[in-house]
Copies of this chain bind each other. A is one copy, B any other.
Amino acid sequence: MSHLAPTIPPPRKLSRETRRTQVIEATIEVVATQGYARTTLTDVARKAGISHGLVNFHFKTKDALLAETLGYLSEEYRQNWASALAAAGPSPAEQLAAMLRADFEPAICTPTRLAAWLSFWGEAQSRPLYQDRCGENEQLYTNKLEQLCADLVRQGGYHGDPILIARVLRVTCEGVWVDLSSIINPYTPAEALQTVHAAAMAFFPKHFGATGLL
């Protein structure tokens, strides 16, 4: 047994944050595949390769685990579009294009994460969980989108209510996400982005074309 190659003994004892993240990722997968209602701690533990009791050691209750998982997804999402904005050019059109495109980046737009989001949307409405964990980030997103639309309407000489335009763009992104989760008509993330661009082009034809920013 005394192989000289230690084959990286996977540290049985992981650091607190590493373990928690591992459990949260396992939770995302289980929720995505089984749905919220049928997710059990045993499933999560098995997926993470640890014992059931350990899940309760790191997260006091099942509700706490699910709440933290939702917060984790929400924060991941916020950071994704925030860094996309930071990397984009300064004009309203460039910023808006970056924000729309961010929703379909591979890190965010995976079948697993989409399905998990959908499960949380469906279940959270009854409890204040969703607002607690995502309300603030969602407000940030909406505010930013409305601000960019308002800037673009003004600078681009467009007409229409920026609030309504921002809302259409936002729910188009959301709705296309839902479409991607339903198995029957599986269009690609590229087609999804194309759909969002069709909407942007309808409102801002001088700045957006069928393939994105002009």
Q: Are A198 and B122 in contact (CB under 8 A)?
A: no
Residues 158-184 of A, flagged 1 when their CB comes within 8 A of B and 0 if not, give 001100110110111011101101111
Q: Are A178 and B183 in contact (CB under 8 A)?
A: no
The interface stretch among A13-21, A88-96, A99-107, A125-133 is A125-133
Closest partner residue, chain B, to A31 (CB atom): B126
Per the bound structure, the CA–CA distance linking A162 and B171 in Å amounts to: 19
Any chain B CB within 8 A of the CB of A4?
A: no
Determine the distance from Cα of A36 to Cα of B37 in the docked complex, in whole angstroms. Answer: 7
Q: With A164-B198, A171-B174, A198-B161 in contact, is A183–B35 under 8 Å at CB?
A: no
- What does DSSP make chain A's interface, helix, strand, loop or mixed? helix
Copies of this protein in the assembly total 2
User: Is the beta-carbon distance between A125 and B35 smaller than 8 angstroms?
Assistant: yes
**Interchain nearest-CB distance for A6 vs B (Å):** 39
Given A175-B170, A176-B171, A199-B168, decide whether A184 and B118 contact each other with a Cβ distance below 8 A.
no
> Please, which residues of chain B bring their CB within 8 A of the CB of A170?
175
What residues on B are CB-neighbors of A181 within 8 Å?
125
Which residues of B lie under 8 Å from residue A174 when comparing CB positions?
Answer: 171, 175, 178
Asked if A121 contacts B123 (CB within 8 A), the reply is: no
Asked if A203 lies at the interface with its beta carbon under 8 angstroms from chain B, I say: yes
Q: Could you write out 13 A-B pairs with CB less than 8 Å apart?
A: A35-B125, A36-B36, A36-B37, A119-B122, A119-B125, A123-B123, A125-B181, A130-B182, A131-B182, A135-B184, A165-B198, A172-B175, A199-B199
